[in-house]
Chain A
Amino acid sequence: MKRFGFSKLMLVLGLLFIYLPMVILVIYSFNASKLVTVWGGWSVKWYVGLLDNTQLMGAVMRSLEIALYTAVAAVALGTMAAFVLTRITRFKGRTLFGGLVTAPLVMPEVITGLSLLLLFVAMAQLVGWPQERGVATIWIAHTTFCAAYVAVVVSARLRELDLSIEEAAMDLGARPWKVFFLITIPMIAPSLAAGGMMSFALSLDDLVLASFVSGPGSTTLPMEVFSAVRLGVKPEINAVASLILLSVSLVTFLVWYFTRQAEERRRKAVQQAIEEAAAGSSPHEGVRPQQVR
């Protein structure tokens, strides 16, 4: 059992390694001193100062807008892709399709960014769109790579699903679309929420893709932060960074918490239904309620 202790120790150390820098960053964002390395007491002045920074606020609003559009589109696209990969096992070009869905997960961002920009430039010459790069082009770029993440999350859930429920609905005469919207979607809803949340966060964070495909006047928050960070550590940036960290953590936690609750309720309801059914049927037949995963 020696190794078990070692792996636990590594876990604790690893988590410390992951979280300590972020905690330090948040603490230092409350530093009253203008010198970022000297502690000058607690203060919230850097946070108050942010509100007056209209350029930054504009970037924040633009980033939130893009992230929202991205989350919606990526969930739709990613769910379709996941459905195809898990349920339609045979069609022409399936291998290519699988590759196209998963490759954006690992493709270096500089390559994707450059190639998308060149596509947009070529499209502007050929079909006259997009004349100006901005929110729409960033949205397309983000949707493409976020859909891959959604596809991974959703396909994991689709694989776990009990196919018999969908089959039962089909046997009772429901059309495939109806089954999908009334049976499948509600059952995979937690993973859809998780995928949407993830896309929102990923879009909000992305610097490289946005830098390539944005145009003048459409600076996003990470681009704004990056140009400031390049010049060194600044107390205002500490405050922005802490706000982003805290809000993303909070939303992540809430989504996780609520999906877990929903899952628990569903499990209990199924359990109860099975027990009631078992109690209702004649017990001497020896039908035992099946264990539900």
Chain B
Amino acid sequence: MKIRKLKRAFQRLVPEGRHLVIGVPFIWLFLFFMLPFFIVLKISFAEADVAIPPYTQIYSFVEDKIQIVLNLANYGLLGEDDLYLAAYLGSLKVAFFSTLLCLLIGYPMAYAIANARKDIQTVLLLLIMMPTWTAILIRVYAWMGILSNNGLLNSFLLWLGLIDQPLQILNTNIAVYIGVVYSYLPFMILPLYANLVKHDQSLLEAASDLGSSTFNSFWKITVPLSKNGIIAGCMLVFIPVVGEFVIPELLGGPETLMIGKVLWQEFFNNRDWPVASALAVVMLAILIVPILLFNRSQAKEMEGRA
């Protein structure tokens, strides 16, 4: 009897299952994902300092007065120095065009997979998914060997006789585009496939019965129906590419200005944490709309039934 009483008391102490299930991931994500952004915001208003950690505190408590000093110089620097503006624009340009390229290449691929036989579909999906699990670093590295001046592609073109001088591809923006499309293509295909495979084929049949051409029904039925897949795929490519560091660092050259690389250099090479934080805050401000868009389409997808 006593044990039962104890048990009941214990159960009252321990939160209900429902609260626990919601609470644990919520607290984790709040602590390790959301809270850090506020700290970044705070430090973007600090001044760089030769100390550990290398920034000043923005508030002080002296003689019963709390003083908060917001240093706007970091943001001022971002506006003054053309380098940063060029880097933001460069990132957005690379992200935009590579998203477009991924969509143009990925849509037909996803379409072909969705229309393949069921047992072949799973194999094809595995083939698309496998690269996303292997290191982006290594897949980018593979291209370094192919694109370099005395690399495989140039040797091949020379051997064919198409060129008589090796082309400079590595360390240019072309190499960055190749690397980005190569690395992010699966992230475009997977959500597109997930959407396309659910389409009701009878709609297309009805359209063709009514005399619609294949292309017409594709353009008027399949494409509009796959809107959510297109949004999810494009966001999955666009947003991370804006902040991409590895690809421009390894494949790009001096002309490649991308914000992820600049932020990395400010942080690791110049040890200017406040400026790096300000760069991150501005990047996040630019990306917040696409991120919200992605979250909304993802939420619809996850609720599914609703």
A196 vs B134: C-alpha distance in the bound complex, in angstroms?
Answer: 14
Q: Please, which residues of chain B bring their CB within 8 A of the CB of A205?
A: 133-138
Q: Please, which residues of chain A bring their CB within 8 A of the CB of B236?
A: 105-106
Would B240 and A106 count as touching, CB distance under 8 A? yes
Q: Please, which residues of chain A bring their CB within 8 A of the CB of B134?
A: 22, 201, 205, 244-245, 248-249
Would B145 and A24 count as touching, CB distance under 8 A? yes
Would B137 and A11 count as touching, CB distance under 8 A? no
Q: Smallest CB-CB separation from A228: which chain B residue?
A: B141
Would B32 and A18 count as touching, CB distance under 8 A? no
Judged by a CB distance under 8 angstroms, whether A169 is at the interface is no
Q: Smallest CB-CB separation from B136: which chain A residue?
A: A205
Judged by a CB distance under 8 angstroms, whether B112 is at the interface is yes
Report A19 CB to chain B, min CB distance, Å. Answer: 8
Tell me whether A100 and B33 are in contact in the complex, defined as CB-CB below 8 angstroms, given that A3-B215, A241-B138, A248-B133 are known contacts. yes
A212 vs B269: C-alpha distance in the bound complex, in angstroms?
Answer: 13
Would B302 and A98 count as touching, CB distance under 8 A? yes
Judged by a CB distance under 8 angstroms, whether A217 is at the interface is no
**Which one, A109-117, A185-193, A266-274, A285-293, is touching chain B?**
A109-117
Q: Which chain B residues (247-261) contact chain A, with CB distance < 8 Å?
A: 249-250, 260
Tell me whether A229 and B39 are in contact in the complex, defined as CB-CB below 8 angstroms, given that A110-B243, A260-B122 are known contacts. no
Report B269 CB to chain A, min CB distance, Å. Answer: 13
- A137-166 vs B, CB cutoff 8 Å, 1 = contact: the mask equals 000110110010000100100010000000
Among candidates A80, A202, A229, residue contacting B25 with C-beta atoms closer than 8 Å: A80
- A86-121 vs B, CB cutoff 8 Å, 1 = contact: the mask equals 101101010101111111111111111011101101
Q: Please, which residues of chain A bring their CB within 8 A of the CB of B284?
A: 111
A107 vs B292: C-alpha distance in the bound complex, in angstroms?
Answer: 11
Q: Please, which residues of chain B bring their CB within 8 A of the CB of A118?
A: 36, 39-40, 43, 273, 277
Judged by a CB distance under 8 angstroms, whether B186 is at the interface is yes
Report A250 CB to chain B, min CB distance, Å. Answer: 10
Report B205 CB to chain A, min CB distance, Å. Answer: 14
Q: Please, which residues of chain B bring their CB within 8 A of the CB of A201?
A: 133-134
Report A79 CB to chain B, min CB distance, Å. Answer: 9
Judged by a CB distance under 8 angstroms, whether B144 is at the interface is yes
Q: Which chain A residues (1-54) contact chain B, with CB distance < 8 Å?
A: 1-4, 6-8, 10-11, 14-15, 17-19, 21-22, 24-25, 28, 36-37
A36 vs B148: C-alpha distance in the bound complex, in angstroms?
Answer: 11
**Which one, B65-73, B82-90, B124-132, is touching chain A?**
B124-132
Would B145 and A233 count as touching, CB distance under 8 A? yes
Would A107 and B239 count as touching, CB distance under 8 A? yes
A108 vs B122: C-alpha distance in the bound complex, in angstroms?
Answer: 30
Judged by a CB distance under 8 angstroms, whether B263 is at the interface is yes
- B10-40 vs A, CB cutoff 8 Å, 1 = contact: the mask equals 0000000110011011101110111111011
Q: Please, which residues of chain B bring their CB within 8 A of the CB of A86?
A: 302-304
Would B303 and A7 count as touching, CB distance under 8 A? no
Would A102 and B295 count as touching, CB distance under 8 A? yes
Q: Please, which residues of chain B bring their CB within 8 A of the CB of A17?
A: 105, 182, 185
Would A114 and B280 count as touching, CB distance under 8 A? yes
Tell me whether A24 and B243 are in contact in the complex, defined as CB-CB below 8 angstroms, given that A100-B33, A245-B138 are known contacts. no
Q: Smallest CB-CB separation from A5: which chain B residue?
A: B112
Would B214 and A2 count as touching, CB distance under 8 A? yes
Judged by a CB distance under 8 angstroms, whether A284 is at the interface is no
Tell me whether A22 and B139 are in contact in the complex, defined as CB-CB below 8 angstroms, given that A98-B299, A122-B39, A252-B126 are known contacts. yes
A245 vs B243: C-alpha distance in the bound complex, in angstroms?
Answer: 25
Judged by a CB distance under 8 angstroms, whether B203 is at the interface is no
Q: Please, which residues of chain A bring their CB within 8 A of the CB of B295?
A: 98-99, 102-103
Q: Please, which residues of chain A bring their CB within 8 A of the CB of B185?
A: 14, 17-18
A93 vs B25: C-alpha distance in the bound complex, in angstroms?
Answer: 13
B positions within 8 Å CB-CB of A? 17-18, 21-22, 24-26, 28-30, 32-37, 39-40, 43, 53, 105-106, 108-109, 111-113, 115, 122, 124, 126-131, 133-139, 141-146, 148, 150-152, 155, 182, 185-186, 189, 214-215, 218, 235-236, 239-240, 242-246, 249-250, 260, 263-264, 267-268, 273, 276-277, 280, 283-284, 287, 290-292, 294-295, 298-299, 302-306
Can you offer 20 A-B residue contacts whose CB atoms are under 8 A? A4-B214, A10-B105, A10-B112, A11-B124, A19-B127, A22-B131, A22-B134, A37-B150, A88-B22, A97-B22, A110-B280, A114-B277, A115-B40, A118-B36, A176-B17, A198-B133, A202-B133, A208-B246, A226-B246, A244-B134
- Extra contacts besides A119-B39, A249-B134, A252-B133 (19): CB < 8 Å: A4-B112, A6-B108, A7-B108, A19-B131, A24-B145, A37-B148, A37-B150, A78-B25, A80-B21, A98-B298, A107-B240, A109-B245, A111-B243, A112-B36, A114-B277, A121-B53, A205-B134, A205-B136, A252-B126
